[in-house]
Amino acid sequence: MQTHVQYLLYACLGACVLGLLFSFGKARWIEKQDPGNEKMVQISTWVREGAMAFLKREYLVLAIFVAVVTGFLYSANAGDLRWGAFAYPIGAGVSALTGYLGMKTATLANCRTAQAARKGICEALFVAFGGGSVMGMYVVSWGLFALTGLFLFFLGLFGCDLTAVNTLVLPVLTNYCMGASSVALFARVGGGIYTKAADVGADIAGKIVAGIPEDDPRNPGVIADNVGDNVGDVAGMGADLCESYNGAILSAMIFGAVIGIDTGNLMFAILPLVLSAVGIIVSIIGTLFVRTKEGGNPQTALNIGTFGAGALMIALSYPIIIYLIPSTFVLAGITFSAIGIFYALSVGLIGGILIGLITQYYTAENLSPVKKIALACKTGAGTNVIAGLGNGMLSTAFPTIVLGAVILVAYHFAGLYGVAIAAVGMLSTTGIQLATDAYGPIADNAGGLAEMAGLPPSVRKITDNLDAVGNSTAAIGKGFAIGSAALTALALFVAFKQAVHLETIDVSNPVVMVGLLIGSMLPFLFAAFSMSAVGEAACAIAEEVARQFRDIKGLLEGVPGVYADNTKCVDIAAREAIKRMMAPALIAIATPVFVGFVGGPEMLAGVLVGTTGTGVMMALFMANAGGSWDNAKKHIEGGGLGAENGKGSDVHKAAVTGDTVGDPFKDTAGPSLNILIKLISMVALVIAPMLI
Amino acid sequence: MQTHVQYLLYACLGACVLGLLFSFGKARWIEKQDPGNEKMVQISTWVREGAMAFLKREYLVLAIFVAVVTGFLYSANAGDLRWGAFAYPIGAGVSALTGYLGMKTATLANCRTAQAARKGICEALFVAFGGGSVMGMYVVSWGLFALTGLFLFFLGLFGCDLTAVNTLVLPVLTNYCMGASSVALFARVGGGIYTKAADVGADIAGKIVAGIPEDDPRNPGVIADNVGDNVGDVAGMGADLCESYNGAILSAMIFGAVIGIDTGNLMFAILPLVLSAVGIIVSIIGTLFVRTKEGGNPQTALNIGTFGAGALMIALSYPIIIYLIPSTFVLAGITFSAIGIFYALSVGLIGGILIGLITQYYTAENLSPVKKIALACKTGAGTNVIAGLGNGMLSTAFPTIVLGAVILVAYHFAGLYGVAIAAVGMLSTTGIQLATDAYGPIADNAGGLAEMAGLPPSVRKITDNLDAVGNSTAAIGKGFAIGSAALTALALFVAFKQAVHLETIDVSNPVVMVGLLIGSMLPFLFAAFSMSAVGEAACAIAEEVARQFRDIKGLLEGVPGVYADNTKCVDIAAREAIKRMMAPALIAIATPVFVGFVGGPEMLAGVLVGTTGTGVMMALFMANAGGSWDNAKKHIEGGGLGAENGKGSDVHKAAVTGDTVGDPFKDTAGPSLNILIKLISMVALVIAPMLI
């Protein structure tokens, strides 16, 4: 192996180790913070035990699934490609591990954030964001560590020449990425069903069966609801971005290796790893800037951290690209320059931030789109639903234009490699981006905990402030997740084309056309299944809650020392969520396999294109419609339409209907579509060698 | 010109004349039927005047629009292609004329159906279906007459050789088809906004401002509501299918002419005209079989007519194809046989019927999908909306599979020509298909008229029976319209590819990809605009109704001789509808022009593909979700969940919310998407010569 390549890869591993040390240290620091009084500790323990019970159940099913797929990969591949069956479970394991570690810290941070809020907002922000940054840094550090490590291992095994990289190393690494995808599918879809089913199930049982108020700790479903916030928004989002992160790096490496064949230079394939390693350092630095003074605005702190990390990333990547890449190179007959790669990376990063800001515009509580929806509640639930659906549909326009611009600019400056590099750029600051995402549910949980444990109103005010900022960053995070998923899926799709040796994917070929129609239909089918799963799982949870109230004497009466069996309830919720997610999961995995083997690689390519095109729009539509209904309700509750239209009024009831529709939209079906569009491309890429 | 070609085209014109005579005779016959008592005549006259007022307003705007586009086509084209500027207004004129004639008869038939229902169901069915068949036969006869006539004219002008047909005759005829498309855009989108805006506007003003019941003839908005049924479901659906019909024939001719170049045989280009001419005769025969005995089931009669016409079409097309087409021919190096064309035609026809039946399954009142939605109303409006959305999304799956199968089979047997012939087959019985579609609103209007004029309950029972059957056929018709739009759009898309001389449309090319993303986004944007237009137009109508109650003394009190100014109200409704449809219309027309000239033909091709894939799914989703909410409400009103959950109950209120959301879904945005996917392909095809 060339020595400087080797050292470069060791440096990447070093950056990952730095990220891991940071996460580990932060996690230990959070553990050492004051968890608050006994009641807080108790509730927090329930939530943590619940989240772990979910993971236990989920990982059990996952283990079986991974074992089956590993067996399939081993038997379906021949020769050295069989190493894919070894890389696949590693990918699944890494994603599962980060989910476990990240969620453990997040569920430790909730009560500690509430306790810190007694001292002030800067302390509370520091703990909450610290909890989120553990998740964020674990995802990128473990992900890049495993990817780089496996790359080094297979370079040693298969040889460091470019043919081996193209035909063996990267196809085997694809299996690693599909492992991460498989976990993402379970975490996002299962977690999405879980969080909304627990929410609705607890509400139904609490209000209708037992007649107790919302968020009452006697209701075993309430803990499940809090668990849901963690498994959906922390673990689900983490696995989602983990998949995008690995997928984007891999597809850029694949294109880089193709250039490598032409130029005899391996560096193009390694650059994505190097840039991502820089991104880890940058993210660590960014998190250090997220702090606020008493009376300061936590939003400003988060903005400085994320935007600052983006700017630093752009600044650092320039000398690195110029140093590593020859100043000009020829790709498919066209001469490109190294600075073009820098432009591609920058435009991807800026595009991701722009899409996030657009998403925020359409869903922010105090801006005109949401205000219009709130106004529509005055004429009833029907007009509210129409307004929200219309807003969600409208919100697809600008992100699409930004995405289009990113693709065109990146392609212009560095060809298809540029498009893949743009995705790497968009995801290079995933560490801090995911930290701000995961911070939201921690602050949310802290607020709930403060309420349940009866902490003073000043604490609640601080956590409310943090939570509001969390909602805003969550909107950005969702837009960011969708944008990066779209770009990753497109890059993977082109990689698939190369893997099956197709010259073109001609959509005017009826076989491709049929694939495109099937692909366009899949997101609708997937969304339909995941939405109906929420309803069914909610019923099962409501039944269990009712059973506990009936069977556990003294629970409903609030006799001291009598506790609800949260673990059981959460275990049932988890089992239901995983059971109900089987149908959508099967669609996502079986369709590309079936179409690939029966209809052939061209029809499968059509499916990938159709699913990406329609899936991105459906994901934007559902996430933003859901977000805007939620905030329209909050706007009304906050007196935006006058006190007479507040809680309990007909206008508020109309707003609640919209929010009910929006819940499975924004937290189940919408985010799950991110996984769908990436996963089917990943599956296609894995089975590509079998289709030739 | 070869003599037998000439005679064949004359024979086609003859079939069209037969169809015109049939329509004309039927229209005269309906006019001569007993229109009923004075009150019935009066209400019917209001509705007719209202519909004509809408057409007047619509055609005024259309005329300006057509003049501008004609000027553009004249100046943008050069040489003989300038004849396109002559064909375009003819296409617009033909579509507008059929809309005028068909709607005139439909609005004459409503009171006569109600009056005939006094005698019995067989008389009522005969009048109502007769009214519908006038619309249906006018559309196909005028459409094919003009297309064949222009083809003959330009053959004479440019010469009958295949090069002239390929490079001049068919490109000029494309302008004719775009004329029909332009009218379809206005009729479908404007009509769709009109019908729902009038519905909602009249309801708001009647109930809230004046406090009078639904369907009260004092309310000037009620007439507008009845007018809406005609302009939306009769004229809108007619223009929609007119566009599909012309577009399918044209694209098959284009592919046929390409084969002609290879084989030296013009017959492939002429066959679509001949088959469509046979379809006219078959449709006439089919309508003769639509009759029922006293106590008989009108559904059976309609089924015999439509399915019988389909079977007869298949039977007659076999000898015609075998006679006209050489037994084997070579296309792009592959040998095909004439019988393959027959298979393609048959599979298209059968596929269209299948898609219609699937649509019916998902929206029928007494089947499980709708029953599930009705059950969801028990837990409130939110769950009802979720269930309906889920059902609509789910309903995209099977029609997509049928469409895919049709495309693959047709392609296998006759290449791309086969795919276009499948579309011709699907639309060959448009005459009778549209007759059953247009029959629905006539029966619906007759029922409303019977109610308003206080006819005996036995009459209402008969019209209710006819109306229920009409709802069922409307569901089939909507599925049929979407399926044929999809197939037509795909054929037009491939024709565009040939017109701009692109070898392939490679979706792995980022430029095409960006087009695809923009195209996938368009249906969402279009739907968002058309839905919000309904809300805005409804407000304007409600204001006018309130003004009339305020200004016209004695109206609200019901003083005899004091009438509402229906024409004014309807004129405002029309003006509002047309004003509000400008934004979506502009999107549909400007996007392909802008992308084509700025982004180039490859990006434009991507837009067409994306819009078709996503647009078809959105159209199915919105039409079927809307239909199922409507019927879930009817199911509940009919006591399907017990008398305690009937009208006025909370369960019923939840069902009404779903129906409110469904109204713009199924009658405005959904059907308008049919136009969008065809129109942008048509616009692209027209500007193709300017893009080379």
B-chain residues near A518 (CB < 8 A): 400-401, 404
Q: What distance in Å separates the CA atoms of residue A605 and residue B197, rounded to the nearest whole number?
A: 42
Token digits of residue B538:
């409804």
Q: Is pLDDT of B639 > 90?
A: no
Residue B428: which H helix or E strand, with range? none
| Option in A391, A524, A658 nearest B617 (CB) | A524
pLDDT tens, A515-549?
999 999 999 999 999 988 887 788 788 788 888 88
Token digits of residue B171:
């490109």
The pTM (predicted TM-score) of the whole model is 0.93
Rounded to the nearest angstrom, the minimum Cα separation between A232 and chain B is: 20
Could you state, in order of their start, the residue ranges of all structural domains in chain B? 3-325+336-691
Among A210-214, A596-600, B106-110, name the one with the lowest average pLDDT.
A210-214
CA distances from A393 to A265, A564, A624, B45 (A): 45, 43, 8, 40
SS3 label, residue B330: strand
pLDDT at B419: 92
Q: Left, alpha or beta for A336 (phi > 0: left; psi -120 to 50: alpha)?
A: beta
The residue of A395, A504, A517 whose CB has the most chain B CBs within 10 angstroms, and thus the best one to mutate to test that interface, is A517
Residue A586: CB atoms within 10 Å: 11
Backbone φ and ψ for B214, nearest 5 degrees, come out as -60, 155
Question: Could you tell me if B495 and B685 are in contact, meaning their C-beta atoms sit under 8 angstroms apart?
Answer: yes
Torsion of CA A198, A199, A200, A204, to 10 degrees: 90
Q: Strand A328-331 vs strand A334-337: parallel, antiparallel, or unpaired? A: antiparallel
Contact call for A605 and B506, based on CB within 8 A? no
Q: What number is the average pLDDT over the span B132-147?
A: 95
Question: Could you tell me if B210 and B126 are in contact, meaning their C-beta atoms sit under 8 angstroms apart?
Answer: no
Token digits of residue B396:
């995209």
A-chain residues near B410 (CB < 8 A): 510
pLDDT at A214: 66
pLDDT tens, B580-624?
888 888 888 899 999 999 999 999 999 999 999 999 999 999 999
pLDDT at A447: 86
Rounded to the nearest angstrom, the minimum Cα separation between B373 and chain A is: 11
Backbone φ and ψ for B210, nearest 5 degrees, come out as -100, -20
Residue A1: CB atoms within 10 Å: 13
Query: Among B156, B346, B172, B324, which Cα is nearest to B254's?
Result: B172
Q: Is pLDDT of B230 > 60?
A: yes
Provide the pLDDT confidence category of residue A1 given band limits of 50, 70 and 90: low
Backbone φ and ψ for B336, nearest 5 degrees, come out as -115, 160
pLDDT tens, A142-173?
999 999 999 999 988 888 888 888 888 888 99
Provide the pLDDT confidence category of residue A602 given band limits of 50, 70 and 90: very high
- Establish if B263 touches chain A: CB-CB under 8 angstroms: no
Q: Is pLDDT of B211 > 80?
A: no
Question: Could you tell me if B179 and B97 are in contact, meaning their C-beta atoms sit under 8 angstroms apart?
Answer: no
All residues at 6 or more sequence positions from B569 whose CB lies less than 8 Å from its CB, including other chains:
B220, B221, B223, B224, B541, B544, B545, B548
Burial annotation A198-231 (CB, 10 A radius, 16+ → b, else e): bbbbbbbbbeebbebeeeebbbbbbbbbbbbbbb
Q: What distance in Å separates the CA atoms of residue B73 and residue A69, rounded to the nearest whole number?
A: 59
- Establish if B368 touches chain A: CB-CB under 8 angstroms: no
Contact call for A528 and B390, based on CB within 8 A? yes
The residue with greater pLDDT, B180 or A554, is B180
Q: What distance in Å separates the CA atoms of residue A130 and residue B657, rounded to the nearest whole number?
A: 45
Q: Is pLDDT of B214 > 70?
A: no
Q: What distance in Å separates the CA atoms of residue A488 and residue A682, rounded to the nearest whole number?
A: 10
Query: Among A163, A146, A179, A170, which Cα is nearest to A81's?
Result: A170
DSSP of B549-610, one letter per residue?
Answer: HHHSTTTTTT-TT----HHHHHHHHHHHHHHHTHHHHHHHHHHHHHIIIII-HHHHHHHHHH
The residue with greater pLDDT, B290 or B526, is B526
- Establish if B52 touches chain A: CB-CB under 8 angstroms: no
Query: Among B381, B388, B374, which Cα is nearest to B639's?
Result: B374
Position of tokens 């800037």? A289
Contact call for B386 and A661, based on CB within 8 A? yes
Question: Where do the H-state alpha helices sit in B117-265?
Answer: 121-158, 162-164, 170-185, 191-203, 220-229, 237-263
Q: What distance in Å separates the CA atoms of residue A73 and residue B131, rounded to the nearest whole number?
A: 63
pLDDT at A180: 92
Question: Could you tell me if B623 and B533 are in contact, meaning their C-beta atoms sit under 8 angstroms apart?
Answer: no
Burial annotation A629-642 (CB, 10 A radius, 16+ → b, else e): bbbbbbbbeeebbe
**If contacts are CB pairs under 8 Å, which of residues 179-238 in chain B contact chain A?**
204
Burial bucket for residue A332 (CB in 10 Å: 0-12, 13-18, 19+)? exposed
Mutual orientation of helices B650-664 and B601-637 as an angle, nearest 10°?
150
Q: Is pLDDT of A490 > 80?
A: yes
- Establish if B514 touches chain A: CB-CB under 8 angstroms: yes
Query: Among B445, B468, B429, which Cα is nearest to B346's?
Result: B429
Q: What number is the average pLDDT over the span B56-68?
A: 89
Our CA angle for A395, A401, A404, nearest 5°, is: 135
The residue with greater pLDDT, A576 or A519, is A519
Q: What number is the average pLDDT over the span A209-227?
A: 76
Question: Could you tell me if B677 and B611 are in contact, meaning their C-beta atoms sit under 8 angstroms apart?
Answer: yes
Mean pLDDT for chain A overall: 89
| Option in A497, A521, A657 nearest B400 (CB) | A521
Task: For residue B514, give the chain A residue with the closest CA.
Answer: A404
Q: Is pLDDT of B19 > 90?
A: yes
pLDDT at A141: 96
Question: Could you tell me if A491 and A678 are in contact, meaning their C-beta atoms sit under 8 angstroms apart?
Answer: no
The residue of B209, B334, B393 whose CB has the most chain A CBs within 10 angstroms, and thus the best one to mutate to test that interface, is B393
B-chain residues near A380 (CB < 8 A): 657, 660
The residue of A524, A586, A650 whose CB has the most chain B CBs within 10 angstroms, and thus the best one to mutate to test that interface, is A524
Task: For residue A401, give the chain B residue with the closest CA.
Answer: B518
Provide the CA B478 distance to its chain's centre, in angstroms.
8
Rounded to the nearest angstrom, the minimum Cα separation between A2 and chain B is: 33
Provide the CA B451 distance to its chain's centre, in angstroms.
28
Q: What number is the average pLDDT over the span B205-215?
A: 68
pLDDT tens, A305-333?
888 999 999 999 999 999 999 888 887 78
CA distances from B264 to B103, B164, B326, B416 (A): 44, 13, 11, 18
pLDDT at A611: 96
Q: Is pLDDT of B78 > 70?
A: yes
Query: Among B665, B669, B672, which Cα is nearest to B629's?
Result: B665
pLDDT tens, A387-415?
999 999 999 999 999 999 999 999 999 99
B-chain residues near A613 (CB < 8 A): 516-517, 519-520, 610, 613-614
Partners of residue A337 on adjacent β-strands: A328
Q: What distance in Å separates the CA atoms of residue B420 and residue B675, rounded to the nearest whole number?
A: 18
CA distances from B691 to A372, A484, B592, B602, B684 (A): 41, 33, 11, 10, 9
Q: What distance in Å separates the CA atoms of residue A465 and residue A301, rounded to the nearest whole number?
A: 13
Task: For residue B625, give the chain A residue with the closest CA.
Answer: A528
pLDDT at B20: 96
Token digits of residue A66:
């991974």
Torsion of CA B117, B122, B127, B132, to 10 degrees: 120
Q: Is pLDDT of B480 > 70?
A: yes
Among A605-619, B295-309, B347-361, B395-409, name the one with the lowest average pLDDT.
B295-309
Mean pLDDT for chain B overall: 89
A-chain residues near B389 (CB < 8 A): 531, 661
Q: What distance in Å separates the CA atoms of residue B171 and residue B181, rounded to the nearest whole number?
A: 15
Token digits of residue A284:
């660590």
Partners of residue A334 on adjacent β-strands: A331
Torsion of CA B646, B649, B655, B660, to 10 degrees: 120
The residue of A490, A520, A653, A668 whose CB has the most chain B CBs within 10 angstroms, and thus the best one to mutate to test that interface, is A520
Query: Among B654, B663, B535, which Cα is nearest to A656's?
Result: B654
Provide the pLDDT confidence category of residue A245 given band limits of 50, 70 and 90: very high
What share of chain A has pLDDT > 70, as a percent?
Answer: 98
